[in-house]
């Protein structure tokens, strides 16, 4: 659902360049991009936390655990992997949407002011194009 929402928001933002005669949406582009990039950063942080917290221990450590504990660790690692796949879908949708906005608005984005953290992250998408 989050991926669909991000795709719709980005598509509507891009369409506003030609469809929004009064420029109402364009005034909110910095807020839209900031929200998307903040959400993307949160997803990436959570993904890193999942990978660090729920990975299987080395084989020599597994031998020290009881079969029940090994099964629990394996289950948690499998659930973390599935959660990571879902997070990846949402992250990819946000990245694709931001790329779409950057391609649509191009040099017009320089007219906006972004917080330094957001500007650095956005610069990576601008450089990508």
Domain boundaries, the chain: 2-128
Q: Which residue has the higher pLDDT, 108 or 11?
A: 11
79-83 own/partner pairs: CB under 8 Å, 24+ apart: 79/54, 80/50, 80/51, 80/53, 80/54, 80/55, 83/50
pLDDT at 70: 78
Would you state the structure tokens that stand for residue 106, as one six-digit string?
Answer: 């191009």
The per-residue pLDDT for range 25-72, each reduced to its tens digit, is 888 999 999 999 999 999 999 988 888 777 666 777 767 778 888 788
Q: What is the mean pLDDT of residues 15-32?
A: 89
Confidence of residue 23 (pLDDT cuts 50, 70, 90): confident
Of 90, 88, 85, 114, nearest to 102 (Cα)? 114
* DSSP sequence for 60-98: HHHTTS-HHHHHHHHHHHHHHHHHHHHHHHHHHHHHHHH
């Amino acid at each position: 659902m989050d991926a669909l929402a991000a795709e719709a928001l980005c598509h509507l933002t891009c369409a506003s360049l030609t469809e929004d005669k009064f420029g109402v949406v364009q005034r909110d582009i910095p807020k839209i991009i900031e929200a998307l990039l903040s959400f993307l950063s949160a997803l990436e942080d959570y993904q890193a936390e999942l990978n660090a917290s729920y990975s299987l221990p080395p084989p020599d450590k597994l031998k020290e655990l009881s079969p029940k504990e090994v099964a629990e660790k394996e289950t948690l690692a499998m659930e973390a992997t599935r959660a990571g796949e879902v997070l990846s879908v949402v992250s990819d949708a946000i990245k694709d949407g931001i790329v779409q906005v950057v391609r649509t608005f191009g040099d017009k984005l320089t007219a906006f002011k972004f917080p330094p953290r957001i500007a650095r992250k956005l610069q990576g998408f601008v450089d990508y194009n």
